Each structure stands twice: as structure tokens, then as C-alpha cells.
Amino acid sequence: MNEPALLEVHDLVTTFPLRRGLTGAILRRPQQAVHAVDGVSLTVAKGEMVALVGESGCGKTTTAQTIMRQVDATSGSVVFEGTDVTTLSAGEMRPLRRRMQMIYQDPYESLDPRFRVRDAVIEPLVVHGLAGSKGDREAKLIDAMRRAGLTPPELYLDRYPHELSGGQRQRVAIAASLVLEPNLLVADEPVSMLDVSVRAGVLTLLDGLRSRGDMGILMITHDLSTAAHFADRIIVMYLGRIVEEGPAREVVRNPQHPYTRALLSVVPRRDPREQVTPQILVGETPNPMNIPPGCRFHPRCPVAEDRCKTIDPALVDAGADHRAACVLVGEGKP
């Protein structure tokens, strides 16, 4: 029997109702809502890195925040190690939070500038009541620093965040998560604020962490080339929905959804002979308060047909454990 996934998200919906205001209430205008996440299902297994990819505003960060219970789900479930966390109280959530950690985009924001590295990494142990003896604390601190690639740890322990490079700060933020020995890391654009020269180092670090097999990583990124290089599976989101998912190599080599193809077309290739003509999508991502009818990508889709204005395509099998939500999938047209 297969081991259950570390994280199973089923049909997750997150909406943010908007205030109608006095005029809206008097005129009895219907309540509007932002449909940030609209029926997302995904899994992350131990030892796996799954990349959630899309433009800003596609709902990937709200998906991560809902999984982490930073915002409440409107419906659906988030099952972490067999427990549906969407129904837990704050007190019941507390022991699980240690095992579900989030890495943020901007390490400078996530670290307290008044804390030396030593205190920043130890603080989560104190917050979770796991500080133990001074010797235990010190051993966990040094181990987390080493696992985050901050070696020798003594070189960094007494520095303040402003005395570190961006890459070192992100590694300290990762160490402050690792000290709690999490099973799931949700990394929200973990390298987008870093210099290009240090991005690969941080991504290789995350890759190495999950390769040990006891941790799964959900990486949120707008960068398909990063996802293609490091992730096992890629999930592409558009306007709150998953439009394509599958093994990373399969999605990149054989994209089925026009949106994925457009994203891939602007990724630089190492081999100039593989370069394809960039497909520039016209228009902004539509407003999630006002989702287009039919296929929500149709106003921007370069191959849209009349039927796309009325058919809302579900994810369908595209072979090789690969699925896409487009009426053309399976018709040999995309």
C-alpha cells in the first residue's frame, strides 16, 4: 500500500468578501468577493519538491497562506500528515505549526533586525517550548546552521541581519525553520529577492534538504525555469485555478496548456537552437472579482475558439501523469 502524502489539498477555495460600503448597502448591491483560490487540489509527498507556478495575482501565494492557516479556507480541506488543519483551533494548530514551516520571499522582513543570528535561530525553539537545556539548545542551533549551509556556524552566530548578504540572511531564515525539524517547508518565492549569483546556492540547499527523504517542499515561484530545474512536479495556476500539472520534465518538454506554453516561450534556453518565438500574452491577468465566463484564460488565449467563451474546461488526462484544463487537449490541436 502506498504511503499517504505528507500534504493533501482537496478542492481548496479561498474567497475574500469585499465590503459593500454605505452606498452599496443602501442600493442593495450584491456582495462581491475576490476568488483568490478556486478549487485547488494538490499533494506533496515526503522527499518531493512541488513547484506552484504562475504570474503574480494567480492565487499561488494565497494557496500557500491557506495551507499554512494564515488565512482561513472558504471550503475544501488541507490534510497534513493525516489531519485536516482547516478545522483545527489555534491551540490545536500549535503543535502542527512546528512541522509546517514557511520560508518567505524577503529574508530581511522575516528576521528581526535587533536579533543576532544566534537569537533569531533559537527563538522558534523558545516560542514552541522546545528550548530545553542550554546544551540542547546550542546543539540544535549548530545543527540547523550547518544544515542551512552556514558553516562554520561560529562565523555567523553573533552577527546582525544587516551584517549579512541577502543569501546569508535567507539561509538564517531557513535555519530558523530547520531548528524545529519540520516535515513540510512552504517556500514562497524563496530566491526572488536575492542576487542572481546566490540564487542557485539557496535552491540547491532546498533541493538537498528534501533529498534526505523526510521533508517535502512546496515552492511558490513565478519562474518556470527554476521550477523546471529543481522541482519533481510542476503545477501551473491561472486566476485561482490549476490549469496544468505533471512531472516537471514532462510539463516543460510537452506543455499542453496555451498559458504554460506562453510562460515557457519567454524562458531563455541554453541552446540557442532551442529558442522559440516568445508569446507575449496580451492584457493583464483579469480581475479575480470578475472572472471571465467559460475558460477563464480565453480573453488572453492566442488559440481561443468560440466555444471557449462558454466551456469551463476541467483538468483532463494528457498522458504520462500529466493533466491540463483546455478544450483542445486530446484533440491534437494545442
Which residues would be at the binding site for ligand SF4 (CB under 6 A)? 257-258, 295, 297-298, 301, 303-305, 308, 313, 326-328
With residue 11 as reference, give the H or E element that holds it: strand 7-17
String of DSSP letters for 187-203: EESTTTTS-HHHHHHHH
> In the bound complex, what is the minimum distance in angstroms from residue 309's beta carbon to ligand SF4?
8
Nearer of residues 208 and 302 to ligand SF4, judged by Cβ = 302
Cα–Cα distance measured from residue 8 to residue 5, given in angstroms and rounded to the nearest whole number: 6
Nearer of residues 60 and 298 to ligand SF4, judged by Cβ = 298
Nearer of residues 23 and 290 to ligand SF4, judged by Cβ = 290
Query: If you search the block for the grid coordinates 562554520, which residue do you land on?
Result: 152
Helix axes 117-127, 166-178, angle to 10 degrees: 30
Whether residue 177 contacts residue 185, with contact meaning beta carbons closer than 8 Å, is answered with: yes
Please provide residue 70's backbone torsions phi and psi, each rounded to the nearest 5 degrees. Answer: -80, -25
Looking at the DSSP bridge assignments, the partners of residue 12 are 40
Nearer of residues 218 and 326 to ligand SF4, judged by Cβ = 326
Whether residue 120 contacts residue 114, with contact meaning beta carbons closer than 8 Å, is answered with: no
With residue 305 as reference, give the H or E element that holds it: none
CB atoms within 10 A of CB 143: 15
> In the bound complex, what is the minimum distance in angstroms from residue 317's beta carbon to ligand SF4?
15
10 Å CB burial of residue 23 (0-12, 13-18, 19+) is exposed
Give the closest residue to 68 by CA, choosing from 5, 7, 149: 7
> In the bound complex, what is the minimum distance in angstroms from residue 234's beta carbon to ligand SF4?
17
> In the bound complex, what is the minimum distance in angstroms from residue 324's beta carbon to ligand SF4?
8
Nearer of residues 149 and 299 to ligand SF4, judged by Cβ = 299
Nearer of residues 236 and 328 to ligand SF4, judged by Cβ = 328
> In the bound complex, what is the minimum distance in angstroms from residue 127's beta carbon to ligand SF4?
45
> In the bound complex, what is the minimum distance in angstroms from residue 312's beta carbon to ligand SF4?
9
> In the bound complex, what is the minimum distance in angstroms from residue 247's beta carbon to ligand SF4?
21
Nearer of residues 77 and 265 to ligand SF4, judged by Cβ = 265
Rounded to the nearest 5 percent, the helix, strand and coil shares of the chain are 35, 20, 45
Helices (H), 231-271: 248-253, 258-265
